Amino acid sequence: MKIYVILILSGLVTAGLATLCKSCWNIGTTKCCETSSIFCKESQCMTISEYCTINKKFYYTVKKTCAVPIMCGNCISVSTDNNFLLRLSGVCAKGDDSNSQLNFTKTCPDPLPPNGFMCPSCYVNGTTDGCNDGGLATTCESCWSLGTTKCCKTSPIYCKESQCMTVSEYCSVNKKTYYTVKKTCAAPEICDNCFSASTDNGFFLRVSAVCAEGDFSNSDLDFSKTCPDPLPPNDFMCPTCYVNGTTDGCDNEGKMVKCGGNEKECVVYRGDVTLAGDLGAPK
């Protein structure tokens, strides 16, 4: 089952929606097949042009949406020496529907000019278990199981980090709780930390991670709720709204949510959540 949601989480931008932009996301082409309108906080609209090569074959994606200032006029690139590269660029303009005439364009230089930096490189197709460039340091247990607190199946993954990690996630939608557990390479910034997002509209999210040193050190690290529940109040407040069934937007109508724990910023999230089977675990 798939639901479309827009969340104005414990942390929303306080200004009203300012700009109307064209919206599309089409994979395998450089042109939008069909566009709709989307309301944006930003004063700019954006067209994102993406292309990648896999084994010398090109794949294209075009997306029109609200502007992400850090991407405007910039190029994001990923390269390997193993038949894979990715190029992503954004072009922005001010005003309503200003991205309607901003078409797919390759703004990344090709080839990229050398910069003196080097990275280990490996690429493998057909598996997410990882690959070895000859310098990977640690082998960790890997799984991603939705709708449960236990891994259904595990496999090894090769990691640069010396630590392995188990990520525990649970969220509540209209008072129903959904669980996810993931084992993977450690991300040091979330080890032993809690990430949370809250609304006053029947939705909250809690994500925490536990890490350990050495090969397969996360094999005995099970799902655990390390986020305090309820979160201790922190005197921050944000506008809040939540709507199911659309990504066009919602109005908080002056409603505020009291933040807790480390929730000290107001954010906007809009997107879709896929529920796994009858258990309804977020994906």
The reported pLDDT for the residue numbered 134 is 58
Q: Pairing relation of β-strands 19-27 and 57-66?
A: antiparallel
- Note the pTM of the prediction, 2 decimals: 0.49
How many residues can be counted in the chain? 283
The answer to whether residue 91 sits within a structural domain is no
Dmax over CA atoms of the chain, in Å, equals: 56
pLDDT means per 10 residues in the chain (283 residues)? 40 57 91 89 93 87 92 90 85 95 88 82 69 69 88 85 90 84 91 86 85 92 85 87 75 84 82 50 37
The reported pLDDT for the residue numbered 127 is 66
Q: Quick one: tokens of 19?
A: 């700009």
The answer to whether residue 125 sits within a structural domain is no
The answer to whether residue 238 sits within a structural domain is no
The answer to whether residue 139 sits within a structural domain is yes
The reported pLDDT for the residue numbered 14 is 38
The reported pLDDT for the residue numbered 219 is 93
Task: Give the torsion through C-alpha atoms of 245, 48, 53, 270, to 10 deg.
Answer: -20
The answer to whether residue 177 sits within a structural domain is yes
83 dihedral zone (left: phi>0; alpha: psi -120 to 50; beta): left
The answer to whether residue 114 sits within a structural domain is no
- Rg value, the chain, Cα: 21
- The CATH number assigned to the domain holding 149 equals 2.10.60.10
The answer to whether residue 92 sits within a structural domain is no
Residue 178, domain extent: 132-191+205-221
- The number of folded domains in the chain is 1
Identify the residue whose tokens are 């505020």: 256
Residues 6+ away with beta carbon under 8 Å from 113 = none
The answer to whether residue 60 sits within a structural domain is no
Write the single-letter amino acid at 230: P
Write the single-letter amino acid at 216: F
**CA proximity to 67, closest of 34, 90, 36:** 90
The reported pLDDT for the residue numbered 126 is 65
The reported pLDDT for the residue numbered 278 is 40
